[in-house]
Structure 1
Amino acid sequence: MTYAVAALVDLDDYVATVRAQGQPWAQGQVRRVARAVAEATAVRPGATWRPEPPEEWLMLLVGTDPDTLATEAATLAEEVRARIVAETAWTATVSIGPPAAGAVEAEREARRANDFKLVLGGDRVIEAVPAGWTGGPPLRIEQELTRRVRAGDRTGAAGLLASWVDRCAREPGVDPRTLRNWLVGQLLFVVDVAGQARLADGSTDWVETSNRLPIEDIVTIGDIHERSHLHIWLKETLGRVMPVPPRRDILALAEAYLADHYTDPGLRLADVASAVCASPFYISHLFAEERGTTFLRHLTGLRLRHARRLLTTSVLPVDTIAASTGYPSAKALRIAFRRHVGCSPTEYRRTRFRTGP
């Protein structure tokens, strides 16, 4: 009886690398990979190969001894990987199926093994397919995901989902099918939270909402077996299904957060940006364009306004006022006062003091 063993060569992070380096560069590297695959298979009797564009090559070994075929396939896989690393700018994953009765079945098994690249990662030889997963997700993110979706933070929501996928993939025994099912559930959750179309009873109008997440997009997940590609897909998909709140709403959220937290001496622009699910650069841009000021000036204004009120309505020591208004010390408050008010806190109090309560 004749057996066949297939080994699928799959370049790692192909989509992400092409976007970063450009198609012409990638095509040159792909030609080098093809040459490495051809040279490695040429010296093995009964071994053939064919390209599977744009970034895969299928190697097939045929013989009568299944154990010998499996050993030869593993040796060939390691040699091909070593050649690709030595002769190109890429790494590759080679997935090997078990011996099969024919070439079609052998290829199917190799592709099934390659699907586990989604959970195992790349730059390896995949031979044994792990056992299936029976539990639920190891981590729930719905609360934080809801916050980012309602703030319109597409990048933050995509990043949260990407890191969640990476965390779930590290769980022992998780298989690609289970991971994709979990992810589809999270995507439907995002669509529900972000959904503007509601029925009379307040529930999501899924017929209307599905236009933003069509079935074709969900099916596409089944063709992705690289996490870097999945991260790109997530960012693009959430860009379509999530509405972006008006910029003034984001600025209002930032100003409200500052009004509640300006007395914290450790408050930074990054803290405010994280709280409203926007980038620090964007928050700075909004303060400059919409308010004609900077984040730091706005924060300083809040602190000094509070300090002036305490100086003129209380007899609290300057160091106590400093601690109450977000300054780490009385010295820091004095410096800010001289720079922005033109005098020291003590001088300000002496000239403007009114009888307090």
Structure 2
Amino acid sequence: MTYAVAALVDIDDYVATARAQGQPWAAGQLRRAARAVASAAARAGATWRPEPPEEWLVLLTGADPDTLTTAAATLAEEVRTRIVRETAWTATVSIGPPSPGLHEAEQAARRANDYKLVLGGDRVIRLPARPGSPPPPPVRIEQELTRRVRAGDRDGAAGLLASWVDRCAPGADPGVLRNWLIGQLLFVVDVAGQVRLADGSTDWVETGARLPISDLVTVGAIHERSYLHIWLKDILGRLIPAAPRRDILTLAEHYLAEHYTNPGLRLADVAAAVCASPYYIAHLFAEERRTTFLRHLTGLRLAHARRLLTTSALPVDVIASGSGYPSAKALRGAFRRHVGCSPTEYRRTRFRTGP
């Protein structure tokens, strides 16, 4: 009986490097990689064929399964060594078990290569045993994901999902990992859904017309984590409506209105809360409000302090801590700079003249 073992040679991070360096550069590297595969296959007495754009399938046949398994392992290491030496890339070689037919051998190698998604590249992968019952995801991100989606932060949502995949991948089955990810993407569709039915639920018919489900299940063909990150950024760019500049500024102002009494509040905190950069928030305050972030925050704090000074008999130090100032001295300094008098003088004047 004749057995076959297939080895699938897969260039690591091909899409990312081709985008970074350009297609002419990538084409030249692919020619070098093809020569490396051909040379190693010839030494092993194997046949091979290209699987564009960046894979090659190498087949070994023989009567002894153990001999074939050993030969495939030797071939895999030689291919990887040659590609590292002769190109700017690394490669992953995935090997299936000996099979009675060529088709079965090829399918086994592809199933093994699927584990590149969870194991990473630059290695030899053998088809593992079938996993048991799938565990739940090790971490949940729906609350933070909702915040970023509603803020229109496409890049932030994509980055959050990409880092979540990286955290979930170790020890996971690739099929289970993809199912988790598709679930998160459907969650994003639901949160971002602009067209809803009368009961408030997402209009999935309209949503499916805007973003076909086939686009989501494309993830089933991805086994490279770097490409998955690129794909997530593209898909979320279509799923999440971009937040208008004014919406981001409004979110920042609302957050400030709710948290200005925190003495430790900083621009970076507000920017993180609305999923934007501190520079961009500062730019929006300057361009849209003709003021600065600090002036806006100071205005909120002083307005609150002035209300308390004229409507209560609270001590100045209590009013300071309730208005976002770390001490009565800090409140007095702010009053001197922006109001022109001390809190006590302001209270005395207001109580005499009326609020």
Fold conserved between structures, TM > 0.5: yes
Q: Which residue pairs with 2:183 in the alignment?
A: 185
C-alpha contact (below 8 Å) 1:10/1:92 kept by paired residues: yes
Q: How big is the shift at 1:86?
A: 3.0
Counterpart CA distance in 2 for 1:308 and 1:159 is: 43
> Matches of 1:131 and 1:206 in 2, distance apart?
34
Deviation at 1:246, TM superposition (A): 3.0
SS of residue in 2 equivalent to 1:132: coil
Q: Which amino acid aligns with 2:204?
A: W
Structure 1 residues 31 and 319, CA, compared in 2 at 3 Å: closer, same or farther? farther
Does the 8 A contact of 1:95 with 1:111 survive in 2?
yes
Counterpart-to-counterpart distance in 2, 1:36 and 1:265: 63
What is aligned with 2:196? 198
SS of corresponding position for 1:354: helix
Further displaced range: 127-136 or 212-221: 127-136
Match in the other structure for 1:117: 116
Residues 2, 64 of structure 1: 8 Å contact kept: yes
When structure 1 is superposed on structure 2, of 22-31 and 318-327 the one drifting more is 318-327
Aligned to 2:280: 282
Which letter does structure 1 place at the counterpart of 2:299? G
Partner of residue 162, structure 1: 162
Deviation readout 1:36-83 (Å, 9 max, x if unpaired): 222322322x22322222111222222221111111111221222222
Q: Given the superposition, is the C-alpha separation of residues 352 and 324 from structure 1 closer, same or farther in structure 2, using an over 3 Å criterion?
A: closer
**Contact 2:185–2:216 (8 Å) recurs in 1:** no
Q: Secondary structure at the match of 2:94?
A: strand
**Take 1:240 and 1:233, find their aligned partners in 2: how far apart are those partners?**
11
Distance 2:144 2:51 in 1: 40
Alpha carbons of structure 1 residues 33 and 327: separation in structure 2 relative to 1, 3 Å = farther
Query: Offset of 1:257 from its aligned partner?
Result: 0.9
Quick one: structure 1 residues 103 and 129, their matched pair in 2 at CA, closer, same or farther if it must change by over 3 Å? same
Query: Cα gap change, 1:246/1:72 in structure 2, threshold over 3 Å: closer, same or farther?
Result: same
What displacement does 1:333 show?
A: 5.3
Give the superposed CA RMSD: 2.8
Task: Give structure 2 stretches of 5+ with no counterpart.
Answer: none
Q: How does 1:142-291 map to 2 (within 5 A)?
A: 142-170=142-170, 172=171, 174-291=172-289
Task: Output one character per residue of 1:314-343: Cα deviation in whole Å (capped at 9) or x when no partner.
Answer: 7877766554443445665566566x5396
- Aligned pair in 2 of structure 1 residues 19, 266: CA closer, same or farther (>3 Å)? farther
Task: Point out the more displaced range, 47-56 or 199-208.
Answer: 199-208
Number of equivalent positions: 351
Establish whether residue 135 from structure 1 lines up as the match of residue 130 from structure 2. Answer: no
2:349 counterpart of 1:354: yes
Change (3 A) 1:184 1:131: same
Judge conservation of contact 1:312–1:354 (CA < 8 Å) in 2.
Answer: no
Q: Which amino acid aligns with 1:16?
A: A
Deviations 1:286-323 (A, max 9, x none): 21221122323322333344456667777877766554
Q: 1:313 touches 1:355 (CA, 8 Å); kept in 2?
A: no
Change (3 A) 1:19 1:337: farther
Task: Name which of structure 1's ranges 226-235 and 18-27 shifts more when overlaid on structure 2.
Answer: 18-27
Equivalents in 1 of 2:329, 2:71: separation in Å?
75
**How many Å apart are 1:265 and its aligned residue?**
2.5
Q: How does 1:8-157 map to 2 (within 5 A)?
A: 8-44=8-44, 46-138=45-137, 139-157=139-157
1:232-285 deviation digits (Å, cap 9, x = unpaired): 111211111222333222211111111221232322222112222333333223
Question: Which stretches in structure 1 are left out of the alignment for 5+ residues?
Answer: none
Structure 1 residues 15 and 341 mapped into 2: Cα distance closer, same or farther (>3 Å)?
same
Q: Is the 8 A contact 2:109 2:127 kept in 1?
A: no
Conserved in 1, the CA contact under 8 Å of 2:182 and 2:217? no
1:125 Cα deviation from its structure 2 partner: 0.8
Quote how far apart the aligned CAs of 1:97 are. Answer: 0.8
Call closer, same or farther: CA 1:200–1:327 in 2, change over 3 Å: closer
TM-fit CA distance, 1:27 = 2.2
TM-score by length of 1: 0.86
| Per-residue deviation, 1:96 | 0.5
CA separation of 1:242 and 1:5: change in aligned 2, threshold 3 A? same
User: AA paired with 1:303?
Assistant: R
Change in 2 beyond 3 A, CA 1:47/1:247: same
**Alignment partner of 1:54: what SS?**
coil
CA distance in 1, matches of 2:108, 2:261: 62
Give, as a single letter, the amino acid of the residue that structure 2 aligns with 1:341.
Answer: H
Residues 131/315 of structure 1: CA separation in 2 closer, same or farther (3 Å cut): same
TM-score (norm 2): 0.87
Give the 3-state SS of the residue equivalent to 1:200 in structure 2: coil
Residue 92 and residue 350 in structure 1: after superposition, are their counterparts in 2 closer, same or farther (change >3 A)? same
Label 1:284 to 1:130 Cα distance change in 2 as closer, same or farther (>3 A). farther
SS of equivalent to 1:6: strand
Residues 51 and 57 in structure 1, CA contact (< 8 A), matched pair in contact too: yes
